[in-house]
Chains A and B, each alone.
Chain A
Amino acid sequence: MATQDIIARSATTTPSPSVRQTDEVAKLIDTTVCIGCKACQVACSEWNDLRDEVGDNVGVYDNPTDLTADSWTVMRFDEHETSEGDLEWLIRKDGCMHCEDPGCLKACPSPGAIVKYDNGIVDFDQDKCIGCGYCITGCPFDVPRISQKDNKAYKCTLCSDRVSVGLEPACVKTCPTGAIVFGTKDDMKEHANWRIQDLKGRGYENAGLYDPPGVGGTHVMYVLHHADKPQLYSDLPRDPAISPLVGAWKGVAKPLAMLAMAATAAAGFFHYIRIGPNRVSKEDEAAVEQDSAQAGSNSPEAGGKSDEQ
């Protein structure tokens, strides 16, 4: 990806280069076709040269049990009992959603440590990452992880290195059932529509596309059998958005606080110019001498009371 393709940059208040327009891309994950083989996890680890520590079996198929700085995608398995008493195995490949309005990028304090390319990919530049973890605070999907080794934040890059040379992401390349597809966002929506029609014809009335508008849509989308209840899929948020607390902290608070602090200092400066310093006057000094003289014979309180003269 060339630098002129960066259209949003963390901790940057002026517009990023936006002359060149390329097509928005998206990865479509069809949960209804996924068999939970974890080939995508392996491909991710292979392509990115990551070897997470071997963990423990916790009694379910989830392995590793959560995203880590070395595991940028994990399959989450949910056993769902339908109203008819049937069992459905809902498997969701979790990872960065590449939001159109990324909460991580909004929260990041380090200029350029998080960028969004004009094809929609949100990428971390670990060289500029300071390790504060604000990206975790900002993310509506709980995706970024800080590495214990280097205190840098990591997550799925949507294989930006592969995409920039015309290849599809490693997970897409490897998926044996075609559950993961990649292309322009428009094409992926069309592909999803065709899948959803098919699912509806098979009795999945609530089948639908997960492309949540609260974050401006995402560049990783899901086809769900139960699009009305995304939370069935290991707590996929129903209506994700950047938290209003993060919005206030990283939005209005920044310019307002800066302005108010500058105004406070300016108020002091102009108070000094207009009204001037508060000095001890000759009369005050004379009064003190009078107090002292009286103190020779009288009590100090007598002197103190002549304050208003």
Chain B
Amino acid sequence: MNSNQNQDLQRYNANERSNHWAVALLFVMAALSGLALFHPALFWMTNLFGGGPWTRILHPFIGVAMMLFFLGLAFRFAGRNRFKAHDRQWLSQWRDMISNREENLPRIGKYNAGQKLLFWVLVVSMLALLFSGIVIWREYFSGFFGIGVIRFASLLHAVAAFVLISSIIVHIYAAIWVKGSVGAMTSGKVSRAWARKHHALWYDEVRKNQR
């Protein structure tokens, strides 16, 4: 047995991890400042950003920065998130997944169908947030749009943010639930057993490349 065969597998390199955490930190700031302006019960969170006017000033810039980094992430990961034939089967057996009966599910690659679904939901909601956000950015852009468009964009911005935040709650929970996942985005490594159990085709692929 060669020692190389027992080492953890590299899932994300340093650039991918940095990119992910840049988006994540900006997301937390955008979500907190956005929620503060969304519901009166959360208006107190404007204090985290230096008060109401500062929250209003900062939120769109945070959002644009998040979007720029997210685009980087999306281009890095889009290829691996294309839906394949086995994804439909995987999705139809979602009950096996949430009941921790993963052995019944089809063997999958680097991402399962749930992760792929999440990826594309994030892409769509981020784009919706960007475009609607520009329309309702009163200081610089709202003057270019009619009142009907601004009203529609205001509602769309809230709905898209709701979808995004809910999706991220699911994303964070999945990382807590599936033990061994967090390391993929901190050290960049996962154990071989983790890879074999959750992403068997990717496990095969990495081992093959290691030879």
Contacts and interface: CB of A to CB of B under 8 A. Distances in A.
B154 A249 contact: yes
A212 interface: no
Among B166, B169, B194, B211: residue with most chain A CB under 10 A: B169
Contacts of A130: 37, 46, 52-53, 55-56
Interface stretch (A21-29, A31-39, A160-168, A268-276): A268-276
Given A151-B139, A261-B162, A275 B100 contact: yes
Contacts, number: 161
A102 interface: no
Contact of B207 (A246, A271, A278, A291): A291
A85 interface: no
B204 A271 contact: no
Nearest to A140: B147
A146 B179 contact: no
A289 B38 CA distance: 52
A290 to B, nearest CB: 10
A280 B193 contact: yes
Interface in B173-211: 173, 176-180, 191-194, 196-197, 200, 203-204, 207-208, 211
A50 B166 CA distance: 47
B193 A285 contact: yes
A293 B107 CA distance: 22
Contacts of B165: 261
A275 B102 CA distance: 13
Interface residues of A, number: 56
B40 interface: yes
A159 interface: no
Contacts of B178: 277-278
Interface stretch (A115-123, A181-189, A226-234, A301-309): A301-309
Interface of B: 1-2, 5-6, 37-41, 43, 46, 52-53, 55-56, 98-100, 102-103, 107, 136, 138-139, 142, 147-148, 150-152, 154-155, 158-159, 162, 165-166, 169-170, 173, 176-180, 191-194, 196-197, 200, 203-204, 207-208, 211
24 contacts: A109-B40, A109-B43, A110-B43, A110-B52, A130-B55, A131-B139, A133-B142, A142-B147, A257-B162, A260-B162, A260-B166, A261-B169, A264-B166, A268-B170, A268-B177, A275-B98, A279-B180, A281-B197, A284-B194, A287-B196, A292-B1, A295-B1, A300-B208, A307-B107
Query: 7 nearest interchain CB pairs?
Result: A133-B138, A268-B173, A130-B52, A292-B5, A304-B204, A11-B40, A300-B207
Interface of A: 11-13, 109-111, 128, 130-134, 136-137, 142, 146, 151, 243, 245-246, 248-249, 253-254, 257-258, 260-261, 264-265, 268, 271-272, 275-281, 284-285, 287-289, 291-293, 295-296, 300-301, 303-304, 307-308
Given A260-B166, A291-B196, 11 more contacts: A109-B37, A130-B52, A131-B138, A253-B162, A268-B170, A271-B98, A280-B197, A291-B192, A295-B2, A301-B204, A304-B196
